Structure formats: C-alpha cells, structure tokens
Structure 1
Amino acid sequence: MQLNPKQIKVSLGRTILRLMPLILMGTITLITFWLVKKNTPPESSLLERVRLHEPDYTIQNGALSALNELGNTKYRVLGKKVTHYDDDASIDILTPRMRLFQADKAPVTVKSDTGHLDGDLTILDLVDNAEIFRPAQAATATEPATLRMLARSSYFKVLINDDIIETDRPIRLEQGMSVMNSTDGGTFNNVDQSMVLSGQVKGRIERLPREAQ
C-alpha cells in the first residue's frame, strides 16, 4: 500500500508527539549536566583551596611582645625556633621563654622544652620541664618583700588575657626554703603573684626570717 504525502506527515507528527517527553527529558538532562560542569571548579582549584596544616614561615631566635593599655610591655615570648602555621595562625615554639610583667612587682618567667601558641594569641601551652620562676624582691613602699618562687610541672597552660597560669598535672612548688608538692596541679595568679595548689598537698613550710619581714 502506498502512502501519500499527507499520510506521511500525519504519521511523522504522531511519532514526534509520542517521543516529545523523551526529547524534553533528554534536553533537560543535557542542560543540567552543562550547568553543573560550568559551575564546578577544576579539581586543581579545589585542592588549592584546601589549607593544610603546614608551616608558612620559620624564625630562628624569634621574639613576640605585647603592650598594655599604657604602652608598657605586658609580656614577651622568646623561642629558639618559632614556626607559624597558615591554616589556623598558630605558632609552635622550641624552648619557649615567656616573661610576664606587673607594675611594681618582680617579672615572672615561664619556660619549657616546647610550646604552642594559639592563633588568637590567648593561650600558650608549655610542655615538658615546664617552670614558673619569680625572683625574690625586697619590700617597697607599695609592696611587701617576696621570696624566690619556683614551680615545676610537666605542663603549664598560660591564659594570657587573664594573667593566669594553670595545670592539672602534679606540681612541685618552692618558695624560699618551703617546698610543697600537689597531686592535681594548681593555679598561679600573676596579678597578685599567688599560687593555689589542688589535690593532695604535702611538704614543709619554713617561716620567713623576722629581719626579712
């Protein structure tokens, strides 16, 4: 049977109508794929945006100082090797040594084998052979005499903005001839330069000689 041109056009139109949903779905799929591909960064760009915890610079014999509101030195941090990390702005310090200053009082020095300073410059972790040292100070018009003080522990945390040094590890405290040991650490307040010990505390207390009081 032969089909005339009119019948061919009608048949072709019906076929196209039946296939129209598939054509539309295919077109939408292609457009979606193109949009996703266009808006997805190259793989190399994604890798470049991932910030790894790797040092961006290292300083030998580095120093970091901060001033108080009066322009006087509040604290100073020294280190044999200072390593800065770009991803979180934190700093690793080899043999850190930090000096804390208070008006009319002897400066306090804290040190250890290794240290870590957070990116906000608010917490300094001191690890291994950590010490707090305050030299003896003669009496002044505003301050009483103080004895030499030395506190040792395996770890100290310096809360810089709060002028607090604390630890939850065992601590040995020497003040003048007195020696105290605590099982659960303690807290040193740099504002009034006092130490509070925690846990079980044992040791001996030697009174300050009368002529030195």
Structure 2
Amino acid sequence: MYNPDLILLAHSLHLAKNFPAPVKFFPFAMSTDIFNCSQNFSERKIDIAFVGSKNPSFYKNRALALSRINKLFGRKYRLSLGKKIFLKALRDEYCNSKIVINYSADRIKSLNMRIFEGIGCGSLVITDYVPGLENIFQENEHCVIFKNQQDLISKINYYLKNPSQAELIAQKGKMHLLRHHTYEHRAMEVINIMSDLYFKKKNFIQPRNFSS
C-alpha cells in the first residue's frame, strides 16, 4: 500500500530483510511518566521479580528458569514470579523489586519493554542477550546479561549477596535511560529522521540550477 523510504523497527530485527526499504533499529524507551520511581533500593521488599507469560509453547526455557529460581531462592528470599499486571500496578511491582528478570522467547529473540520498565524503576535487570541490546546498554554497567540458565542462577546469587553492586548498576542504568532513552528522545529522533528524508528528497527532486 505504501512506498516507504525507511522502516523503523523496535524489535524483531530478523524481519528486516523482508522490507523493501532500509531498516533502522528504533528501540523502545523509558516512559518517564509511569516507569520512573525513587524508592530506596535497600527498602524494596521483593528480592526477585518477574512479570509476564510462562506459556511453555513460547517460553519453555523461561518457565524452567523461573521454576528453578523459585526452588533455589524461594525459602530465603522474597520472590514475585509470574504476575499479570500492567501500567501503574506493574510500575509499583518493579519499584518495590531489587532484581527484575527478563528472559526472551525461545525462538525469536527480541528486545522487549520489560528491560526499559525494570531499569526505569531503578531495579537491577538481569536479562538474556537479544539483538540490538548492545546498541543501548553496556553490560555490567546498565544491566547484567546471562548466557544460560546456570549463568542466570549464578548471577542472581551473586547480586543478592552483593546488594551494593546491584544498586550501583541499577542506578547507572536508570540515569542512562533518563539521559539518552526516554520517549522525548525518540520523538526528537523521529523529527530528525523525517527532516533528513525531506531535505534529501527535496534536493533530489529540485536540483540546483548551475547555469544561473
């Protein structure tokens, strides 16, 4: 139906080859009016949180990992795994959590909102790697990346025992989002992209008259 000059993709970068125009990675961002809180890290009542689906048809590895986390840490720490809540209720959950787990789908590894929401709320986000993540966050500076389930368990254990390090990464991650990755930043990016495309087309359609 359309003849686009540029495609913006927030996730599902594996689909880029299917589009008839160049694709630019255009990620999600921090919603400062919702996922933004200043709850002291040490006063948070939930040690490990996860909010999202555990449907084994799409998230078998996630479901297995959460079950293992519950088994290994459930007796000693306060866990909240598997709630289905949104917006302000989700914000309140993350604002009260020290560690937020992100585990992408089994087949399609895509950047999701959970990473931005958790970091925006000042939690330490421990996530698996997804394409494009390295273009936004620096590992062990803004978030923690795990390689497999054993690595996930090991890193959860480490940061539970070293809360000051967890808090430091969480704080740096939140400040990084506020400085570079809010929706205000994305709006300016769209304006700049449209402006560049407009002037390129204008110059192409109306070339300068060198005879005058």
Q: TM-score range by the shorter chain?
A: under 0.3
> Is the strand fraction higher in 1 or 2?
1
Computing the radius of gyration from Cα coordinates, the structure with the larger value is 1
State the TM-score, normalized to the length of structure 2. 0.22
Question: Which of structures 1 and 2 has the larger relative contact order (alpha carbons within 8 angstroms, sep 6+)?
Answer: 2
> Is the helix fraction higher in 1 or 2?
2
